[in-house]
Amino acid sequence: MAFGRAKFSRSSSSSSSGSILSKLPLWVLRFLQFVFAITVIGLYAQDLRAASKAGKYSDNKWGYAVAVGVIGAVSSLLLAWPRLSMWGWGWDLVVFILFTALFGLFGKMYINERDEGINGIKRMKNAVWIDLINMLLWFITAVYGMIMFFFFRGSKSLHTGRATV
């Protein structure tokens, strides 16, 4: 029972209004990551659905894009919890690398492409810029997580409060 009280007393002191305001930028970034990841899923899944309806081959590049979007959306929800965010900076870097590869892959295909009034090409050019936004958001949270991990982890232990972690 002492373990439960120590855990409760420590978490109640960190729930002051100052700490909630300090976590607000992280929550805003995670919300934006979620929204843009869902946008990526919607933009790329349209072509997968059209290919499936037509009975045609769906390219793995679009499957990769949807998979990265799903990973980004789920990760942004899980890492919105501030304690996970401090320890999850490595995963932020992994998702950043995934979105970097996605931006490079589709950027090479569509940035210099002339749309000439074709809606599919316009949509994919917009999707490339959404990939860039996602890449930058994941980079920002990775850097934030590294800063929190390396500079602010010198707190007291959870169980006794005596040891420095």
pLDDT digits 0-9 by tens, 8-25: 334 444 444 446 777 788
Query: How many whole angstroms separate alpha carbon 140 and alpha carbon 135?
Result: 9
Three-state SS at 163: coil
Q: Report pTM.
A: 0.78
Tell me: pLDDT of 160 over 50: yes
Three-state SS at 111: coil
pLDDT at 82: 65
Three-state SS at 80: coil
The helices-and-strands tally (H runs, E runs) of the chain is 6, 0
Query: How many whole angstroms separate alpha carbon 17 and alpha carbon 14?
Result: 9
Comparing CA positions, the residue from 44, 110, 38 lying closest to residue 71 is 38
Of the CA atoms within 13 Å of residue 72, those in its CB half-sphere come to: 36
Lowest-pLDDT range, 28-37, 101-110, 144-153? 144-153
Cα angle for residues 105, 68, 23 (degrees, 5° grid): 120
**72: its two tokens:** 């980004």
